[in-house]
Amino acid sequence: MTRLRTLVAFGLIFMLLSAMACGCLGGGNGKTKVETTTTTLGQELSDLQKAHESGAIDDKQYEKAKKELLKKYDAD
């Protein structure tokens, strides 16, 4: 019975240390990196046109994506 308690205690300690190491329990450095990318409608349309001209997307995909972009920026 004592051996079982020892194994359970070591298992719990191992799990706690593992969780702390990954930052799950606040073991991280407290700094969060957030990246924000801002693009304009013009830039996105230009990129979309380049993809269309290069053949990466077909006419139907281009028109659909263009319509979605215009709708997205109109809502903003």
DSSP one-letter string for 41-75: HHHHHHHHHHHHHHTSS-HHHHHHHHHHHHHHHHH
* pLDDT band at residue 46 using 50, 70 and 90 as cut-offs: very high
- Mean pLDDT, all residues of the chain: 80
Q: Is 35 helix (H, G, I), strand (E, B) or coil?
A: coil
What is the pLDDT averaged over residues 59-75?
91
The ranges assigned to domains in the chain are 38-76
Do 40 and 72 touch, CB atoms closer than 8 A?
no
Q: Any idea what DSSP says for residue 20? A: H
Is 0.75 topped by the overall pTM? no
Check: CB of residue 69 under 8 Å from CB of residue 44: yes
DSSP letter for 26, please.
S
